[in-house]
């Protein structure tokens, strides 16, 4: 095989796509780990400068707005949490752009209560020179409750 061989070119392109998908998937785990011991600025740093965060509470655009969103969230519920991302479905969209649809779960404990919840993430991750950042994140919370209230149908 030579560099001009279409088979080699196809393999190199396929390898690049797979590497970008793995880099993006690992970035989601970085996001979950950051939420386990969060500061609003650390979470916002995982996004592009013009990143977009969509939630049931509204849309935040840019790192400053995203940090403000997480600051309000942490003030409202300062419980110690653990976050889990499951069943990621990864799609390579274009060079340097990967989409991941996944489920998330979280547990938390505060002074007087324990919380848990789950939902879905839809992320578009931009990769530049091997560095991933979230360009767009949509969070759909399906359940967020405490153990006393539970989640009746």
What's residue 110's pLDDT?
A: 85
Those residues of the chain that have pLDDT short of 70 are 1-4
Asked if residue 72 is part of any domain, the answer here is: yes
Tokens read off for 87: 């069943």
Domain holding 62, by residue range, is 6-146
CA 87/CA 114 separation, integer angstroms: 25
DSSP string, 4-15: T-HHHHHHHHHH
What pTM, to 2 d.p., does this model score? 0.91
Over residues 7-46, the pLDDT tens digits come to 888 988 999 999 999 999 999 999 999 999 999 999 999 9
Asked if residue 152 is part of any domain, the answer here is: no
Asked if residue 63 is part of any domain, the answer here is: yes
Tokens read off for 60: 């935040």
Total length of the chain? 153
User: What does residue 148 show for φ and ψ, rounded to 5 degrees?
Assistant: -70, -45
Collect all residues with Cβ–Cβ distance below 8 Å to 36 and sequence separation of at least 6.
Answer: 81, 82, 83
The answer to whether the beta carbons of residues 100 and 121 sit under 8 Å apart is: yes
The answer to whether the beta carbons of residues 77 and 90 sit under 8 Å apart is: no
Tokens read off for 25: 């998937």
Total domains, the chain = 1
Cα angle 8, 10, 13 (rounded to 5 degrees) comes to 110
For residue 57, the domain's CATH number is 3.10.450.50
Asked if residue 1 is part of any domain, the answer here is: no
The answer to whether the beta carbons of residues 86 and 103 sit under 8 Å apart is: yes
Asked if residue 153 is part of any domain, the answer here is: no
Asked if residue 61 is part of any domain, the answer here is: yes
Asked if residue 25 is part of any domain, the answer here is: yes
């Amino acid at each position: 095989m030579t560099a001009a061989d279409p088979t080699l070119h196809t393999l190199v392109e396929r390898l690049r796509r797979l590497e970008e998908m793995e880099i993006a998937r690992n970035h989601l785990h970085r996001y979950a780990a950051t939420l386990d011991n969060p500061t609003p600025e650390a979470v916002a740093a995982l996004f592009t400068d013009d990143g977009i965060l969509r939630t049931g509470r509204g849309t935040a655009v840019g790192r400053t707005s995203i940090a403000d969103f997480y600051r309000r969230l942490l003030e409202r519920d300062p419980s110690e949490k653990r976050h889990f991302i499951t069943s990621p479905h990864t799609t390579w969209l274009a060079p340097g752009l990967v989409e991941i649809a996944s489920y998330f779960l979280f547990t938390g404990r505060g002074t007087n209560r324990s919380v848990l919840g789950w939902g879905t993430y839809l992320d578009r991750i931009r990769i530049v020179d091997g560095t991933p950042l979230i360009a767009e994140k949509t969070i759909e919370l399906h359940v967020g409750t405490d153990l006393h209230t539970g989640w009746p149908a």
